[in-house]
Amino acid sequence: MHDKFSLNDIAAGGVDGNTGITDRAGVHGLFTIECRDKDGILKWEDHFCNLVTTGGQNDLVNKYFSGSAYTATWYGGLIGSGGTLSAADTMSSHAGWSETTAYSNANRPTMTFPGASGGQATANAVTFNMNGNYTVGAFFTSSNNTISGTAGQLFSEGTFTARSGASGDTLNVTYTIIA
């Protein structure tokens, strides 16, 4: 018995101008909010994603790539329940929601971000000392610290399950920004 085999060389090749590799940078984030009662006991906690507004995206590109004046200080604000968020919202025009002001802080609390690691950074927790009955359902970041102020840049906003509370509660919010 003899085995027969044949040896053939086959070569194939080609060039594909569209390799399908894409890289799209995007900025998004995650908010965490917790409510503690007057005795420091956790009443509730929520985690929610944010919407980076069109103005926030433009501000980021202008500052990073166009060399415009840069603002490194950001502040957090509370939004009442039932609000409707939009990418078109700005600090001076956000018809779908209103800011909740039932807290004793003199200004919107300052968010401080450490240097980024792994493409993200988590700000310190900002604290709101509630001094009246309130209902909250969203959070926003702004470059202006004036409570109910309409100046500055509205960077991001995000909704969570609306909750009500009373004077003496403390709301703590952290924001992780991811690029």
- Position 22 scores a pLDDT of 54
Of the candidates 72, 100, 113, the residue with the CA atom closest to the CA atom of residue 171: 100
Q: In the chain, what is the straight-line distance between the N-terminal and C-terminal CA atoms, in Å?
A: 68
Q: Which helix (H) or strand (E) holds 57?
A: helix 54-65
CA distance 57 to 52: 7
Q: Please report, in tens digits, the pLDDT of each residue of the chain (179 residues total).
A: 444 434 444 444 444 555 555 555 577 889 999 999 999 999 999 999 888 888 888 887 877 777 766 767 999 999 998 779 999 999 999 999 999 999 999 999 999 988 888 888 899 999 999 999 999 999 999 999 999 999 999 999 999 999 999 999 999 999 998 88
Residues for the chain: how many in total? 179
d(CA 102, CA 93): 21
pLDDT at 173: 97
Q: How far apart are CA 23 and CA 28, in angstroms?
A: 15
Residue 56's pLDDT is what? 84
Query: What is the pTM (predicted TM-score) of this model?
Result: 0.82
Give the helix/strand (H/E) hosting 64.
Answer: helix 54-65
